[in-house]
Structure 1
């Protein structure tokens, strides 16, 4: 994964006041209105948390243990909230749509490719944290 391209492309679209992640949620709720009830928090608070998570993942891209532990834990929490595997694809689609929209002409196909790869990897690590079918202990 190209950490340099992830960082540089994020700097192109990371708007003040969590603008990228706020726009992401707007697109997500426009395209997938059925997920909106899953969000009990104020969207601005949620957007701030998501922005922090994205930055943390990029900062720790070279630390497989950190990624596995933290994204697995986050995945378990998402499982408890009822997030299903197909929802991860919707999230990636909407995040890249927001990035592309904000980036405009500066957004490149290579940026889309590296973010698709990164978001797919994040989803995989989060899904690895989901409890096994029939597991009622809460452990992954």
Structure 2
């Protein structure tokens, strides 16, 4: 993964801290069935998501941290009722928010880099699911 491109594109898409709030707007518009899984005010959730994205980028070269931390986070999401297909929806909506907020400066290479990164994150999170929920 290209850590420099991921970091550069995150700064581009999130220059005004709008990325994660916009992500939730897109997620709820495209997948209204997930809305009940969240509180009415998603600001704190958006802040936690932003912190998690930055932490993953900061630890991109630390596979042990990524495996343990994302596996634990996956186990929590399993308990919340998140299913494996929801990870694809999350990645789709996060990339859509990035493309929108990145504007004309956003590139296909950035989309590809984030699609790869979010797929890897999903895989590590799903690895933390109890066996009966991981399929």
> TM-score normalised by the shorter chain: which range applies?
over 0.9
Query: Whole-Å Cα distance in 2 between the matches of residues 87 and 111 of structure 1?
Result: 22
Number of the residue aligned with 1:57: 56
Would the alpha carbon gap of residues 41 and 75 (structure 1) be closer, same or farther in structure 2, given more than 3 Å must change? farther
Secondary structure (helix, strand or coil) at the match of 1:133 reads helix
**Cα 1:41–1:60, aligned 2, differ >3 Å: closer, same or farther?**
farther
Q: Give the corresponding residue for 2:13.
A: 13
Cα distance in structure 2, aligned partners of 1:32 and 1:38: 11
Task: Structure 1: state its 5+ residue gaps.
Answer: 135-140
Structure 1 residue 133, shift from structure 2 partner: 1.6
Cα distance, 1:41 vs. partner? 6.2
Given the two structures, how large is their TM-score scaled by the length of structure 1? 0.92
Q: Secondary structure at the match of 2:18?
A: helix
Structure 1 distance, partners of 2:47, 2:40, is 11
With a CA cutoff of 8 Å and minimum separation of 6, indicate the structure with the bigger relative contact order.
2
Query: Equivalent residues in 2 for 1:98-109 (5 A)?
Result: 98-109=97-108
- Deviation per residue, 1:89-133 (Å, 9 max, x gap): 000000000000001110000000000000000000000000112
The answer to whether the aligner puts 1:111 opposite 2:118 as a matched pair is no
Cα offset for 1:33?
Answer: 0.4
1:80-91 correspondence runs (5 A): 80-91=79-90
TM-score, L = length of structure 2: 0.96
Partner of 2:33: 34
Tell me which residue corresponds to 1:122. 121
Q: Which runs of 5+ in 2 are unaligned?
A: none
Instruction: Report runs of 4+ in structure 1 exceeding 6 Å deviation.
Output: none
Indicate the structure (1 or 2) with the bigger Cα radius of gyration.
1
| Equivalences, count | 133
* CA RMSD between the two structures: 1.1
Deviation at 1:29, TM superposition (A): 0.2
